Amino acid sequence: MPFENFSVIESTLREGEQFSTATFDTAHKLKIAHTLNDFGAEFIEMTSPSASPQSEADIKAVVKEGLKTKILTHIRCNLEDAKRALDTGVDGLDVVIGTSPQLMQHSHGKSIRQIIDLAAEVMNFIRSQKPDIILRFSTEDTFRSREVDLLRVYLAVAELGMVNRLGVADTVGVATPTQVYNMVHQLVRLTHLDIEFHGHNDSGCAIANATAALEAGATHIDTTILGIGERNGITPLGGLVARLYTLNRSYVSKYNLKMLPQIDKMIAEMCDLDIPFNNYITGSSAFIHKAGIHAKAVLADPSTYEILRPEDFGLSREISIGHRLTGWNTIRDRAKTLGLGLSDDAVREVTKNIKKLADTKPLNLAEIDALLQEAEAKELVEAMEAGK
């Protein structure tokens, strides 16, 4: 089953570096690589050594750490890039070339025949130099390429018998889950090679498309932390985890999930970003329950309104109580937490008061506690007076 055996190719150090505010220095890169290694990412992908001298030196620095996670670098389909990449000592090369009419015309100017010949030359060269290296071939802008072109290229490359994996890339974030499913399914059926999916999020489908790829038999999914990348980025690591966890927790139990908050925070800080309030798992409101009906049910059993358990990610839920939608069950729970012995009638009375006050302005916890303590004192006095 693909969901059980999939691997993450964590591309924060390649696709992520292409994000507008990402400029990672060597120390940052080492920290990101170690953190992803500790999280359990199977692969990390780094920017091509041809990008700049520092990029080349940083790959070598990360390789030297001897991490468990496998280190890949991402290169264009040409001999020069391949030679430089082989010299870095990485575990694998991710080779890419554009096949859409747009990229064939404006990026490299090659025909499909020329792409196939070049791919053969480059793949043969890499294999001849490093027989054991992990080798992937990918078409850029797969979903705006002509299907007949794609199949010609993929099948020709598969027939070389040189690559371990074929990559499918939704470079402009245009694909739908059905299109991704069909494309991946076709490649699984025709080639029996591992299949990788790389999906941009321009139209909000990056997580759904990655899931569709897995459903169709993909073995590798590209992610970045917080989803950073070109434009508005790609499938976010935390979002993919949330999606798969809710299908079956066991699909992601191989990862150190409690690290996710610190991982997202690390990249937010390095890129000078806020974690969006609605971020998967680590957004500030991801585990806040508000309306009285929700709060009551969550207090009785969190699973009524929670599909993700915050404690599995080292987080805790919060029940928001100082607003006009609050309910008396929640207020009673707060009184209990404070150790107050209030009658139900008194709790209902305080709740009414909170709702009235909150119509003007939400109350904070200290204000609610004060109202409850006041109510308890009042009840005690009344009880004493009645007992006289």
Q: Which residues bind ligand HCA (CB under 6 A)?
A: 15, 18, 74, 94, 96, 138, 140, 167, 169, 171, 198, 200, 230
Minimum CB distance to ligand HCA, residue 22 (Å)? 13
CB of 98 to ligand HCA, least distance (A): 8
- Residue 212 main-chain phi, psi, to 5 deg: -65, -40
In the list ligand HCA, Cu ion, none, the entry touching 279 (Cβ below 5 to 8 angstroms by class) is none
Are 135 and 123 in contact by the 8 Å Cβ rule? The answer is yes
Whole-number Å distance between alpha carbons of 88 and 13? 15
167 binds, among ligand HCA, Cu ion, none (CB under 5 to 8 A by kind): ligand HCA
# of chain residues touching Cu ion (CB under 5 A):
1
Nearest-CB residue for Cu ion = 15
Of 96 and 350, CB closest to ligand HCA: 96
Q: Which of 190, 193, 213 is nearest to 3 (CA)?
A: 213
Distance between CA 170 and CA 332 in Å, rounded?
51
Residues 14-73 that bind Cu ion (CB under 5 A): 15
Least Å distance between CB 375 and ligand HCA? 60
Q: Which is nearer to ligand HCA, 198 or 332 (CB)?
A: 198
Stretch that binds Cu ion, among 7-15, 33-41, 62-70, 366-374 (CB under 5 A): 7-15
Residue among 154 and 328 whose Cβ is closer to ligand HCA:
154
Looking at the Cβ atoms of 38 and 230, the one nearer to ligand HCA is 230
Region of 228 please: left (phi>0), alpha (psi -120 to 50) or beta.
beta
- Considering CB distances under 5 to 8 angstroms, the limit depending on partner class, which of ligand HCA, Cu ion, none binds residue 140? ligand HCA
Rounded to whole angstroms, how far apart are CA atoms 365 and 369? Answer: 6
CA 211/CA 114 separation, integer angstroms: 33
Q: Least Å distance between CB 200 and Cu ion?
A: 6
Q: Which does 138 bind (CB under 5 to 8 A by kind): Cu ion, ligand HCA, none?
A: ligand HCA
Residue 386, judged by CB atoms within 10 A of its CB (0-12, 13-18, 19+), counts as exposed
Per-residue string for binding with Cu ion, 270-309, x by CB under 5 A? ----------------------------------------
Two tokens at 54? 């520092």
Closest CA to 224 of 15, 49, 7: 15
Q: Are 52 and 18 in contact (CB under 8 A)?
A: no
Active-site pick, 74, 200, 289, 294: 294
Helix or strand holding residue 190 (H, E): helix 177-191
Helix, strand, coil shares of the chain as percentages rounded to 5? 55, 15, 35
> Is 294 an active-site residue?
yes
94 contact, one of Cu ion, ligand HCA, none, CB 5-8 Å limit per kind: ligand HCA
- Of the pair 173, 327, the CB lying nearest Cu ion is at 173
- Pick one of Cu ion, ligand HCA, none as the site partner of residue 233 (Cβ within 5 to 8 A by kind): none
Give the C-alpha distances (Å, rounded to integers) separating 202 from 100, 172, 184, 320. 18, 7, 20, 33
Minimum CB separation of residue 250 from ligand HCA in Å reads: 27
What are the distances in angstroms from CA 123 to CA 69, 117, 119, 153, 163?
24, 10, 6, 13, 7
Angle, helices 147-160/112-129, rounded to nearest 10 degrees: 20
Q: How far is the CB of 47 from ligand HCA (least distance, A)?
A: 10
Give the nearest distance from C-beta 89 to ligand HCA in angstroms: 21
Q: Which CB atom, from 196 or from 264, has the smaller least distance to Cu ion?
A: 196
Nearer to Cu ion (CB atom), residue 235 or residue 351? 235
Query: Using only C-alpha atoms, what is the Rg of the chain?
Result: 27
- Positions annotated as catalytic residues are 294
Applying CB under 5 A, the residues found at the interface with Cu ion are: 15
